[in-house]
Structure 1
Amino acid sequence: MKMHQIRNTENLQKFTNILNSKINNGFVIIEKNEKLPFAVLSKKGVKVNHNINFLISCFTLGLWSIPWMYTSFVSSKEKKILVGIDEDGNTFEDKCYN
């Protein structure tokens, strides 16, 4: 019984460490469940200044348009992830698709 409690406390410690690192990286907890330890985290997308990117793209003869498109389509979207502990006691992290 003690080994089971030790594993539970170690798994919960890993879970809280992952949550703390994600919160330090700018994520915000949307939903958290203590009974089945999981949490849904969200991070706002990067706001893109299209005027500056257009000027840089003109100065670089269009080469800057590739990173500009990447930041416009990928980085500007909101990111949601699910962090939890599975049945075996392993911590996991998954993307939430909209």
Structure 2
Amino acid sequence: MKSKTCTIDEDMIKFSSILDDKTSNGFIVLERNDKLPYAVLLKKRQKVDHVFNFCIFCVTLGLWSIAWIYITQVSSKAKKILIAIDEDGNAFEENCYMG
């Protein structure tokens, strides 16, 4: 019985450390359940400074366009993820649908 309690405590420590890591990277906890353990996290959309990017685009003679497109289409989007610990104590992360 004691070994099961130790593994549950270790799982919760692992879960909490993953959550601390994600929140330090800018995610916000939307929902958290410590009994199952799982959490839904959200990273808000970042604004892109198009004037600044256009200046860099002009200075680099158009080479910055690849990075500018990536920043606009991928990096600046809002992200929602689910982090959970399964029955075996393994942590996993999945992307949630943003409807």
Normalising by structure 1, what TM-score?
0.92
Percentage of matched positions with identical amino acids: 56
User: Gaps spanning 5+ residues in structure 2: where?
Assistant: none
Match of 1:35 in 2: 35
CA distance in 2, matches of 1:45, 1:71: 11
1:38-93 Cα distance to aligned partner (Å, 9 max, x none): 00011113211111111211221111111000000001101111111112221212
Paired position in structure 1 for 2:47: 47
Which shifted more, 2-11 or 29-38?
29-38
Alignment of 1:15 onto 2:15: yes
4+ residue runs over 4 A deviation? none
Figure out how many residues of one structure are paired with residues of the other and give that number: 98
TM-score, length-scaled by structure 2: 0.91
* Distance in 2, Cα, partners of 1:53 & 1:91: 38
Residue equivalent to 2:85:
85
5+ residue gaps in structure 1? none
